[in-house]
Amino acid sequence: MEERSQSQSVSDDDVTRIIIDAKEQAYRETGHEPEPELTKAVDWPITCTVGPGLEGAIACETKIGYVNGSKGWLIYRGYDVFDLCAHSSFEETSYLLLHGHLPAADELSRFRRILLHRLFIPEAQRLLLSFPVETLNPMSALRLGTNLMRQKQTYRDRDEDDDRADALATDEDSIAMETPPAGTRRPVYEFFASLFGKAAAETPTELLHSDELESCYNLIAGVNTIAATIGRARQRRLPIEPLDDLGLAGNYLYMLTGKRPTALEARIMDVCLILHADHGMNASTFAAMVVASTLSDIYLAIGAGISALSGPLHGGANVEVVKMLSEIGSPGKAASWFKSAQKEKRKIMGFGHRVYKAYDPRARVLGPLAELLSKGDPDTENTFATARALEHEVLSTLGEEKKVFPNVDFYSGIVYQSLGIPKDLYTTVFAVSRVSGWCARVIEYLENNRIFRPRALYTGTFDEQYVPISER
């Protein structure tokens, strides 16, 4: 790929091989026809069977992505996610989701430059760090961060004739900054005198007008920086500026940990971001679209997506998986642990899915990547072996009978743990990736916008007589 440096090590090829093997296995095990009722344009209005929670409801048409739950497919803009993981990058995949086609070389390099430049959001970081970020729930802090980006990057809240100065404006070109490990920089970092000065002229981050696509670029980069800044704050550390020779995935790890990731770590993080970038009409995507459909703006819509993702029924099961594997302790105990879990009718974390009734394609990739990363570290090797042993137990008992297979969350926690990401940040990592899908779907929906407005069935009473409070 043009995207990656030619000099990357054999390990990069190993990752590609793992993904191609996963794809070949998936293709051997599943059929090749898409579901006819879910893959065609229709004449609205349509009739469909709707269950509670809008299950089965068709909300709109889309060309962005398709999840085939019965066969275990995940498609972005016609491309199989396996192929994107093997050959693409998160930046290229984000471009694809947003623009509908793979970029030409010059389009991709410009897009990469734009995103790299927009990782610099010192004003939003500065505002964010004026709150007690380290004590906030990380997803709540992330949502706050997108509001602060909106405040700093758009003029939406400023009246035309309003010349009141921002209270922080006098001092917003610098921030206390932890020096990089090499220790060559000053501890107070002056953002706008940085190596990204040239790109600044080409791609302004501050939007005079509400250009949706420009806002999406700001958000795809900015959520990454905010998520890393939150991680730093929770370690009681100051932010670290991004590096111009790393992509978004590598920069996330670098800005979070302060250590330059190895090529293998950056590649695996990149694959994780590709895998989580879009997933049909899930709750957070729908939440973002509902907010956007009111003609609110994209920053607020993405904030809604972050809020929805924060719930334990949506993001976050991977944290529970890591806890569960530690509770089991070792591969030899998986069978007895599973037996008692079944007796107690416990749900096994990281298994089952509302849409997938087949092996989740994301888990097919993440499993072997977790294995690759675990090699050489006895603790993680043990965690991975325990996971494989539990998978064997669950599949032989619930697999064919109940269609319960590993989902994306089963192995992602082990991968994140190996990459040095603390457990409490896993859901924010999900958002760092999913912001691409949210943006793409919001932009697509706004092209033929109709405000979302379902109805509820009223099952209450009528003809109640108002009783004055003194008589109740």
Please choose, out of 42-50, 158-166, 405-413, 437-445, the segment that lies near ligand ACO by the rule CB under 6 A: 405-413
Rule CB under 6 A: say whether 375 interacts with ligand ACO: no
Smallest separation (angstroms) from ligand ACO to the CB of 344 = 11
Closest-by-Cβ residue to ligand ACO is 352
Q: Give whichever of 372 and 395 is closer to ligand ACO, judged by the CB atom.
A: 395
Please choose, out of 66-74, 239-247, 261-269, 406-414, the segment that lies near ligand ACO by the rule CB under 6 A: 406-414
Rule CB under 6 A: say whether 398 interacts with ligand ACO: yes
Q: State the Cα–Cα distance between residues 395 and 407, nearest whole angstrom.
A: 12
Q: What is the CA radius of gyration of the chain?
A: 23
- Which residue among 270, 276, 353, 360 is the active-site one? 353
Smallest separation (angstroms) from ligand ACO to the CB of 407 = 4
Q: Residue 306 in contact with residue 428, Cβ under 8 Å?
A: no
Please choose, out of 16-24, 62-70, 177-185, 402-410, the segment that lies near ligand ACO by the rule CB under 6 A: 402-410
Please choose, out of 77-85, 137-145, 399-407, 458-466, the segment that lies near ligand ACO by the rule CB under 6 A: 399-407
Rule CB under 6 A: say whether 404 interacts with ligand ACO: yes
Q: Residue 122 in contact with residue 173, Cβ under 8 Å?
A: yes
The tokens for 297 are 């703006």
Would you call 79 helix, strand, or coil by DSSP? strand
Instruction: State the chain's maximal CA–CA distance in angstroms.
Output: 82
Please name the amino acid found at residue 194. Answer: S
Smallest separation (angstroms) from ligand ACO to the CB of 403 = 7
Residue given tokens 């990739």 in the structure block = 365
Bridge partners of 190, per DSSP, are: 174
Q: Give whichever of 85 and 348 is closer to ligand ACO, judged by the CB atom.
A: 348
Our CA angle for 312, 318, 323, nearest 5°, is: 100
Q: Give whichever of 285 and 407 is closer to ligand ACO, judged by the CB atom.
A: 407
Smallest separation (angstroms) from ligand ACO to the CB of 272 = 13
Rule CB under 6 A: say whether 407 interacts with ligand ACO: yes
- Which residue among 244, 314, 392, 424 is the active-site one? 314
The tokens for 462 are 């009528």
Number of residues that bind ligand ACO (CB under 6 A): 16
Please name the amino acid found at residue 26. Answer: A
Q: Known catalytic residue: 157?
A: no
Smallest separation (angstroms) from ligand ACO to the CB of 209 = 36
Residue 245 has a CB neighbour count (10 Å cut-off) of 10
3-state secondary structure string across 421-472: CCHHHHHHHHHHHHHHHHHHHHHHHHHCCCCCCCCCCCCCCCCCCCCCHHHC
Smallest separation (angstroms) from ligand ACO to the CB of 398 = 6
Smallest separation (angstroms) from ligand ACO to the CB of 435 = 15
Our CA angle for 283, 287, 288, nearest 5°, is: 120
Q: Give whichever of 67 and 128 is closer to ligand ACO, judged by the CB atom.
A: 67
Q: State the Cα–Cα distance between residues 261 and 12, nearest whole angstrom.
A: 13
Would you call 168 helix, strand, or coil by DSSP? coil
Rule CB under 6 A: say whether 354 interacts with ligand ACO: yes
Which candidate, 445, 416, 414, places its Cα nearest to that of 430? 416
Q: State the Cα–Cα distance between residues 160 and 148, nearest whole angstrom.
A: 20
Q: State the Cα–Cα distance between residues 397 and 208, nearest whole angstrom.
A: 58
Which residues in 294-353 contact ligand ACO (CB under 6 A)? 314, 317, 347-353
> CA dist 64 to 17, 60, 93, 122, Å?
27, 12, 11, 32
Please choose, out of 113-121, 171-179, 234-242, 398-406, the segment that lies near ligand ACO by the rule CB under 6 A: 398-406
Which residues in 113-132 contact ligand ACO (CB under 6 A)? none
Q: Known catalytic residue: 409?
A: yes
Q: Known catalytic residue: 14?
A: no
Q: Residue 325 in contact with residue 354, Cβ under 8 Å?
A: no
Q: Give whichever of 408 and 421 is closer to ligand ACO, judged by the CB atom.
A: 408
Smallest separation (angstroms) from ligand ACO to the CB of 404 = 5
Q: State the Cα–Cα distance between residues 233 and 396, nearest whole angstrom.
A: 44
Binding site for ligand ACO (CB under 6 A): 314, 317, 347-354, 398, 402, 404, 407-409
**Could you give the residue numbers annotated as active site?**
314, 353, 409
